[in-house]
Amino acid sequence: MNATRNTVLEAWMAENGHSSNSLADAVNGALERLTGRPGGLDGSSIRSWKAGRVKWPKSATRKALEDVTGLPAVALGFIPRGRASLTSPPRQGDPDMKRRTLVGGIAAVAAAAAAPGASPRRIGMSDVDRLQARFTEVIASDQRHGGQLSAQQRAAALAGEALHLQNAGSATQRVRNSLYACAASFLSSAMWAAIDSRRYDDAKGHMREAQALAELSGDQAIKFRIWSHAGTMYRHMGRPADALAANDVARNLNITRRDPLFASLGHARQAATLGLTGDTAAVQRALGCAQDALDRADPGLARPVWMTAVRNGAELETLALAAHFRLGNFERAETHAHRSLALLRPQMRRDRAINTARLAAAQLGQGDIEQAVATAMKVPADVATQHARVTRMLQEFGAALRATTPGSPTAQIWTEHTRDAWRTPA
């Protein structure tokens, strides 16, 4: 007689993102916690479950599976031995009768919960995937527009949506950890939007919430992002000691030892902060470490979407530009500016505008007045007027230009450009 496939188990695995091997590993871990001995399951064991060749796993294995999934075995499509169907009455002498009766009741409740309008529902990896797709949209919006208040509010609202799912139904621990990671990711983006627009009180509030959620998730990548953003925030606030301390927390996370690309970003952001201290040798050492780590990074590894500019070295060049500009090494800053602009993807309009403004300021610092103005005029008017950091940088550029060549035709060209190109439509 041919075995009947366990399509219920297959559906649960697909919903929760498990392969045969990953479920085997998870159940083996649960078995070790239950019995003190490692489990012996492998991918072929799980495939036998899915094929229906094993209809009722051994008792310890069932308990471990139930711990992993949060569901009774019968709700996962398994059929107790000696039963033709789940509705067959248990034998009165069966020592497992009470347990089977209870399990049958739970299965009935689970089936009822799947009916329209029933509550609570089952939260799975498809819910996490949907949130992660929204996070990708948030990152794309940030790259185009930067730290708008609307972006900050949207990211915070999505964090609330992720947390709401924690209480909206039952879920495995893996799904719950992923939901906490999603919420922390959204709040880290809200934090970044606030930093980008110089709303530092908002940024600190988002940071505290994001750090707590990241701890609940256990996600090293999002912990790194939050602490790295904290370092950037303190750098922008002119607090280099706090910035260096926050960067050190990020750089000491295990993920920087597992993946050199994270180590590269950590060293590069440390270099940008060291630029505030005037320590040229320390900046050079940090940038050297960042480049070495970037060279060692495996380009084929899957990484978070916010690491896009780190992969090809654009972020390293951007932070090297910031470090040398702060040191007053304008020639070196200009070199890194050109490199960063060549590497940044077209959709990264915010970063491109910031680096163009810094390039203009570096050219002005070298006395190349006409070229500096021509460069500054390349910043799109919408970014120049709607992004707080870019607006401030160009205002500082204009002030330095007027101080360098007061009343000159070149300074007048810049004044007319800002008056005409930046005029807000009526």
CB-neighbour burial class of residue 106 (10 A; exposed 0-12, middle 13-18, buried 19+): middle
Residue 343 lies in a domain: no
Domain end (from 203, 218, 233): 218
Residues 24 and 110 in one domain: yes
Q: Determine, yes or no, domain membership for 163.
A: yes
Per-residue confidence (pLDDT) for residue 2, from 0 to 100: 57
- Last residue of some domain: 199, 218, 237? 218
| 154 shares a domain with 214 | yes
Number of domains in the chain: 2
Q: How confident is the model at residue 111, as a pLDDT? A: 38
Are residues 128 and 79 part of one domain? no
Same domain, 135 and 107: no
CB-facing half-sphere around the CA of 6: CA atoms within 13 A? 24
User: Residue 93 is encoded by which pair of tokens?
Assistant: 């002498």
pLDDT value, residue 424? 52
Same domain, 127 and 205: yes
Tell whether 144 and 57 lie within a shared domain: no
Q: Out of 218, 250, 266, pick the residue that ends a domain.
A: 218
pLDDT tens sequence for the chain (426 residues): 456 888 888 887 887 778 888 888 888 888 887 888 878 899 899 999 988 888 889 888 888 888 888 777 877 888 876 544 333 333 333 434 333 333 333 333 333 334 444 445 788 899 999 999 989 888 888 777 777 788 888 888 899 889 888 888 888 999 999 999 999 999 999 999 999 888 999 999 999 999 999 999 999 999 999 999 999 999 999 999 999 999 999 999 999 999 999 999 999 999 999 999 999 999 999 999 999 999 999 988 889 989 988 888 999 999 999 999 999 999 999 999 999 999 998 888 889 999 999 999 999 999 999 999 999 999 998 888 888 889 899 999 999 999 999 889 999 999 999 888 776 543
- What is the distance, to the nearest Å, from the Cα of residue 392 to the centroid of all Cα atoms in its chain? 28
Residue 307 within any structural domain of the chain: no
Note whether residue 395 is domain-resident. no
Which pLDDT score, from 0 to 100, does residue 422 have? 74
What is the rounded distance in angstroms from the CA atom of residue 56 to the CA atom of residue 290?
54
Is residue 168 situated within a structural domain?
Answer: yes
Short-list 365, 297, 295, 307, CA closest to 337: 365
Range of the domain at 53: 7-83+98-114
Residue 331 lies in a domain: no
Compute φ and ψ for 9, nearest 5 degrees. Answer: -60, -45
Answer yes or no: is 11 within a domain: yes
- 31 and 110 within one domain: yes
In a domain, residue 70? The reply is yes
